[in-house]
Amino acid sequence: MSELPKLPKVYAAMSMPLEGMNRLRKLCQVTVYEGNQDPTRQEFLDGARGMDALIVDPQVTVDKELLDPAGPQLKVIATYSVGLDHIDIDLCKERGVKVGHTPNVLTTATAEAGVALVLATARRIEECIRAVKGGVWGTAWDNAMWLAGKEIAGSVIGIVGLGRIGLAIAKRLAGFEVSKILYTGRNPRPESSDPIGAQFVTFDQLLEQSDFVIVACSVNDSNKGLFDEAAFKKMKRTAILVNISRGVVVDQDALYNALKSGEIGAAGLDVTTPEPLPTSSPLLTLPNCLVTPHIASCTVTTLNAMCELVVDNILAVLEGRFLKTPAF
Ligand code: NDP
Ligand code: DGY
């Protein structure tokens, strides 16, 4: 009797929508990390050993420590993210490991979450909810400025990183009758900024002029710790910082001090260092800091679309085709 052909082996750091997984399971032997939390580093290193393909997310660092024990048969890594800062791309190139990611399909969901953070911080929604649940509503009309927020209309919006998501946020906020949209980055992007009338400025000019500073850049060596003590000092005392990029762009101790001392008005963060943010983080003690658990791309539509891309990318490489959305 002839031996059945061996199915390629895939290890996934997390469970994914059923439809995509079923498509993968028809053609591959798939092992999914089953824990409630992310796998520990050792669990992932053990799981990756001998695999043909890995499915990772931004919590899984892809480096020599992972690629060495995974073995030379590893052909493809698909990350459940557009961000690639957790992956040593040069090393993957060197080892001939293909890398796929999930651009475009998550732009809308992430931009909507960015706008939600702008609105929630501007109108102090978390404080409002706490006040209602805490039974303070009713006594507080004594203070005419109780829970007074900030309007988006007429404000200056500053986007750090006018890429796909930064542009999608800018377009949505333009509908709020803002006075100006500024952006900064390593290069001007007139093809994106001209149609919406956004102005390219230096980082410092953006900090000095913006009422809302929205961080939507990809992370690289040029922007780790970009928002430090000096940056917060340059911002308006009423300014609101929103970060949907990555936690490392912001020095969190400096942010805490800036929020506590009133150097800036408020912050809305979808990303932090580390993740999950420990409940003991001083940031969580501040009424003017709102934190969501890295959910900007988490809508049903987007998570399904990301899963489809992850599966497309894995199958493409295993079947000898080009990645659908290559990281390089
Ligand atoms: P793009 O590649 O389209 O855009 C990245 C942008 O970052 C570019 O415009 C680039 O501009 C800019 N950039 C890079 N370095 C700097 C810098 N030093 N200062 C200012 N801008 C900079 O990526 P996307 O828009 O698709 O995604 C952006 C990032 O958002 C992802 O890499 C990821 O980290 C994060 N993200 C977070 C999600 C969440 O759930 N919170 C969901 C999805 C994405 P230039 O090259 O001109 O500098
Ligand atoms: C991304 O796509 O980079 C997000 O951070 C994770 O979904």
Q: Is 14 exposed, middle or buried (0-12, 13-18, 19+ CB in 10 A)?
A: middle
- Ligand 2: distance of its center to the CA of 297 in Å? 7
pLDDT at 6: 86
Q: Which residues line ligand 2 (CB under 6 A)?
A: 58, 81-83, 106, 297
In the residue annotation, 101 being an active-site residue is answered as no
Residue positions counted in the chain: 328
CA of 286 to the centre of ligand 1 (A): 27
Question: Which pTM value belongs to this model?
Answer: 0.97
Nearest CA, atom 2, ligand 2: 81
Residue 36: the pLDDT is 79
Q: Is the distance from CB of 164 to CB of 156 less than 8 angstroms? A: no
| Positions in the chain whose pLDDT score sits under 50 | none
Q: Which of 294, 310, 316, 324 is catalytic?
A: 294
Beta strands, E only, the chain: 9-12, 29-32, 53-56, 76-79, 98-100, 156-160, 180-184, 199-200, 212-215, 240-243, 266-269, 289-291
Two tokens, residue 274: 């580390």
Tell me if ipTM is over 0.90: yes
Contact criterion met (CB below 8 Å) for 36 and 42: no
Provide the pLDDT for residue 166: 98
